[in-house]
Amino acid sequence: MSPRGDGGLGVDADEAVPESGWVAAELREELPGLDLRYLTLDARTTKSPAHVRARLRTLSDRFAGAQAINLRHQAIPWAYRVFFRHIGLDPDEQPTPVEQLALERMFHGGFVTRNRLDDAIAIAIIESGVALRAFDAAKLSGRLGIRTSAPGEELTRPLAPGTLVVADEQRPIGQLFGDPASGAEPDGRTRRAAIAAVQVRGVPDIAVEEAIWIASNVLRS
Amino acid sequence: MPEELLERYAVAGASPPGMPAGLTVDDRLLADRRVRSELRRQIALLERRLGELFAAAFPRKGIEWRVGAGGGPRVLGVADLERVRDALAARLRSAEAEVARRGRIEERNRQLLEQMLIAPEHHRGVLITAADIGEPSCRTWRSTPRLGPIGMLMGWWRVKISSGCPLATGRAAAGAP
Q: How far is CA A201 from CA A32, A66, A75, A101, A166, in A?
A: 7, 26, 11, 22, 17
Nearest chain A residue to B88 by CA distance is A85
The least confident of A131-140, A204-213, B91-100, B116-125 is B116-125
Distance (Å, whole) CA A52 – CA A58: 10
What are the tens digits of pLDDT across the range A146-155? 999 999 998 8
ipTM of the complex: 0.86
Please report which confidence band the pLDDT of residue A8 belongs to, taking 50, 70 and 90 as the band edges. Answer: very low
Q: Which residues of A touch B (CB under 8 A)?
A: 26-27, 29-31, 69-70, 72-73, 78, 81-82, 84-90, 92-94, 109, 148, 160, 162-164, 175-178
Contacts of A81 in chain B (CB under 8 A): 47, 51
Look at residue A82 and tell me whether its pLDDT is greater than 60: yes
What are the tens digits of pLDDT across the range A94-116? 999 999 999 999 999 899 999 99
Q: In this predicted structure, what is the pLDDT of residue B20?
A: 60
Q: Nearest by CB to B43, from A73, A82, A178: name it.
A: A82
The least confident of A13-27, A37-51, A167-181, B162-176 is B162-176
Q: What is the pTM of this model?
A: 0.82
Q: In this predicted structure, what is the pLDDT of residue A20?
A: 94
Look at residue B99 and tell me whether its pLDDT is greater than 90: yes
Please report which confidence band the pLDDT of residue B18 belongs to, taking 50, 70 and 90 as the band edges. Answer: low
Q: In this predicted structure, what is the pLDDT of residue B138?
A: 85
Nearest chain B residue to A176 by CA distance is B73
Please report which confidence band the pLDDT of residue A140 belongs to, taking 50, 70 and 90 as the band edges. Answer: very high
Distance (Å, whole) CA B156 – CA B160: 13
Give the residue-averaged pLDDT of A81-93: 95
Percentage of residues of chain B with pLDDT beyond 90: 44
Contacts of B172 in chain A (CB under 8 A): none
> CB B73 to CB A178 under 8 A?
yes
Look at residue B7 and tell me whether its pLDDT is greater than 80: no
Nearest chain A residue to B66 by CA distance is A92
Say if CB A31 and CB A17 are below 8 A apart.
no
Rg (CA), chain A: 17
Distance (Å, whole) CA B172 – CA A135: 35
Please report which confidence band the pLDDT of residue A51 belongs to, taking 50, 70 and 90 as the band edges. Answer: very high
